[in-house]
Amino acid sequence: MKISVDAGCLCQKGYSGNKIFAQNLFKALTLYDKKNLYFLYTYCSLAQKRLGKNVVIKKIFPKTGWSKLSLSLAEFVQKKEIFLALNQAIPFYTAGKIISFSHGLSFYFYPQLYPDSSQKMKSQLSEMTARSRYIVVSSVKVKNELTSIYQKIEEKIKVIPYGVPFDMISNSVIKKKKRYFLCTGVNHPIKNIDFIRKAFRKFTSFNEFKDYKLILATRVSREKLKN
């Protein structure tokens, strides 16, 4: 079976949750799926040697209007059986059955925290729920949020926890004498870091917990996180 994948997020500079998810999904597919052929569509150059033999990288242009126009043309020229929409955006045309991935709906419920993108993402969400054969989400919480907005799509939604990134898996045991809470992620208002600090101060106000530390890792390399 031939499967198309919107891999445009791999061209983004730095790291993001979507990019880490995509990298690990591709690695898992090459490790465990030897039967199907995957076509990864990007607008930048990627190293083929890092991927499996059943993965074909397709660099397409133009970059402007890439998701809707360039990707649609590529899908029209070479039709596939399935299209994987990793970031809820779907091209105008694809012959394959669409499987979309939704990573959360904070932009829908808190649009004031996404002033530059909430309207665009809401439009993508509406199209995704209408056109997708299946929608993969990481938790029951996201499923419940989706069905609270679109009551008739429950059968489309499949809950599959995304797990631990490959580069963070370790079989060794590291014992730390110091007790601490580690919070990782981008420094975005939706993370509500001020609330985390306030809750931690309340927690450490009790004598039995006063030796705990709070570590907020917002701009730390992945190598440092592993150690």
Buried b (16+ CB within 10 A) or exposed e, 116-143: eebeebbebbebbbeebeebbbbeeebb
Kindly state whether residue 164 falls inside one of the protein's structural domains. Answer: no
Kindly state whether residue 174 falls inside one of the protein's structural domains. Answer: yes
Would you put residue 171 in left (φ > 0), alpha (ψ -120 to 50) or beta? alpha
Say if residue 75 is in the same domain as residue 136. yes
Report the pLDDT value the prediction gives residue 74, as an integer from 0 to 100.
Answer: 94
At position 114, the amino acid (one-letter code) is Y
The three-class DSSP label of residue 63 is coil
Please tell me the distance from the alpha carbon of residue 168 to that of residue 78, in angstroms, as a whole number. 36
Kindly state whether residue 165 falls inside one of the protein's structural domains. Answer: no
Cβ(212)–Cβ(195) under 8 Å? no
Kindly state whether residue 8 falls inside one of the protein's structural domains. Answer: yes
The pLDDT tens digits of the residues spanning 67-109 come to: 899 999 999 999 999 999 998 889 999 999 999 999 889 999 9
In 3D, which of 71, 98, 104, 102 has the Cα closest to residue 84?
98
In 3D, which of 179, 183, 177 has the Cα closest to residue 212?
179
Kindly state whether residue 130 falls inside one of the protein's structural domains. Answer: yes
DSSP letter assigned to residue 180: E
Number of Cβ within a 10 Å radius of residue 208: 7
Report the pLDDT value the prediction gives residue 212, as an integer from 0 to 100.
Answer: 95
What does the pLDDT average to over 179-200?
A: 88
Domain with 136, as residue range(s), is 2-159
What does the pLDDT average to over 137-145?
A: 94
Report the pLDDT value the prediction gives residue 21, as an integer from 0 to 100.
Answer: 87
In 3D, which of 108, 75, 77 has the Cα closest to residue 92?
75
Query: For the chain, how many structural domains are there in total?
Result: 2
Please tell me the distance from the alpha carbon of residue 36 to that of residue 40, in angstroms, as a whole number. 13
Say if residue 178 is in the same domain as residue 114. no
Global pTM reads: 0.83
Report the pLDDT value the prediction gives residue 227, as an integer from 0 to 100.
Answer: 61
Say if residue 65 is in the same domain as residue 93. yes
Say if residue 174 is in the same domain as residue 105. no
At residue 25's C-alpha, the angle toward residues 24 and 30, to 5°, is: 100
Say if residue 123 is in the same domain as residue 34. yes
The residue from 159, 181, 207 where one domain ends is: 159
Say if residue 155 is in the same domain as residue 175. no
The pLDDT tens digits of the residues spanning 145-182 come to: 999 999 999 999 999 988 766 656 666 666 777 899 98
Report the pLDDT value the prediction gives residue 171, as an integer from 0 to 100.
Answer: 65
